[in-house]
Every structure is written in structure tokens, then in C-alpha cells.
Structure 1
Amino acid sequence: MSLSLRRSGLQKDVLSLYRRALRIVRTKPPSTQAKFSLYIRYTFRTNASSVSPRDVSTIEHLMRKGKRQLEMYEHPSVRDCWVSEEMRNWEKKNHTPSRISARVASLLDAN
């Protein structure tokens, strides 16, 4: 017997936006994919931890903002993104070596 979680419409929308963002990473040059991936994961995680699940208006605002950012990042002319030192430190602190490959780590350190 499988357990399935019931998700609200807003939860489904957030997950859909997250999946869309992760799919965009694959369209970027291999040398910058690690940076895009880190940017996306960091942004979603920090927003998720700073906003109450009951604060619907804030979540909807962040969804609109995220959709606009994704539309910008989807454009083929966008080939790189900026990753702050805070994001790099978050990556090192929150991800074990088994979840991040040596290649990705080296790309993050090189940039």
C-alpha cells in the first residue's frame, strides 16, 4: 500500500515551478549548470524556511517573482548566473559529498 500526500493547489504550483527551474539548468552550458542549480536550490530552500506555509499572499508573491525570473533565465542568451559566497557556504554546509559530485564542487570553486 503506497502512501500519497495530499497537496494543496499552491503546493503543487510551487513544486511545478521548482521542477521547471531544474529543467532549465539542463539547457545551460555544462560549465555553468552547477551555478544555476545552486542558485535555484538555495533560493527555494531559503524562501521555504523563511515563509510560513500559512502565509499564502507571500507565497503567491514569491511564485510570481519566481516565474518572472524563470522566464528571464529560460532565454537562450542567458548563459551564466551569479552565485554569492553565502550560497557557496550554504552548499558546503548543507550537502554531503555523496549528493554533490566532485566535478560540480570543482566547478563551484573555480568560479
Structure 2
Amino acid sequence: MNVSLRRSGLQKDVLSLYRRALRMVKTKPPATRTKFLLFIRYTFHTNASSVTPRNVSAIEHMLRKGRRQLETYEDPSVKDCWVSDEMVAWNDSWSNNWSVKGGNNTS
């Protein structure tokens, strides 16, 4: 079934930033990629849940902030990132919920 979703320009910008962040992870050392991936997933999830879709100015602000932060992480000299205990706990609870609901979680 091919369902074409119409996305707003803002939605496209957010998805573009997320894809760019995921591509950045591939440029990092294999030993730290999982930390970068967790950092990205957690950051996008918490930011998305902290603002309503109608709050355009807040989303635009988060996009600008995210782009600047991503430019920093894209620097080849950045080899690792810090992951908090809260991020790890969030990931563990998300993974457990995913597997309980019958998701195809392989992590």
C-alpha cells in the first residue's frame, strides 16, 4: 500500500536534521556509535515530547539549536559523546516496551 503523506516544511526540516544526525553517526568510531545513536534518539524524543506541534517558533528554535549542535558533532575531531544515566534508563525502558508490544527489536 503506497500512502503518500503530506508533510509541512517544518516536518521535513526536522526529518532532514534527524537523517543528517544518523548519517553523522556512521562517521564515528564503531566503539562509540551506539552512544551517539542513543544521544540522538533521546534528544529528538525528549524535544518532540516537550513541545506541541502548533508551537512553530519553539520548533524553529530547536531546529536552529540542533543544527548548531550537529555541526559540532560532525567535526572529525569529535570521537565520543557523553550519555547520562537518564538516557540509558530511557533507552532500556523504551527497548523493554518495544519487545513487550511485539516489536521486532534486535538490540
User: What TM-score do the two structures reach when normalised by structure 1?
Assistant: 0.87
Q: Distance in 2 between matches of 1:40 and 1:58?
A: 19
Q: Which residue of 2 aligns with 1:99?
A: 105
User: Which runs of 4 or more aligned residues in structure 1 lie more than 3 Å from their structure 2 counterparts after TM superposition?
Assistant: none
Structure 1: any 5+ residue segments left out of the alignment?
102-111
> Percent same amino acid at aligned positions?
68
Question: Given the superposition, is the C-alpha separation of residues 41 and 100 from structure 1 closer, same or farther in structure 2, using an over 3 Å criterion?
Answer: farther
Structure 2: any 5+ residue segments left out of the alignment?
none
Question: Given the superposition, is the C-alpha separation of residues 79 and 100 from structure 1 closer, same or farther in structure 2, using an over 3 Å criterion?
Answer: farther
How far residue 99 of structure 1 moved from its aligned partner, in angstroms, is 2.6
Structure with the larger RCO, 1 or 2 (CA within 8 Å, 6+ apart): 1
User: How many matched pairs?
Assistant: 101
Q: Which residue of 2 aligns with 1:108?
A: none
Q: Which residue of 1 aligns with 2:68?
A: 68
Report the more deviating stretch, 91-100 or 81-90.
91-100
How far residue 4 of structure 1 moved from its aligned partner, in angstroms, is 1.1
Q: Which residue of 2 aligns with 1:89?
A: 89
Deviation sequence 1:44-80 (CA, Å, 0-9, x none): 0011111100000000000000000010000000000
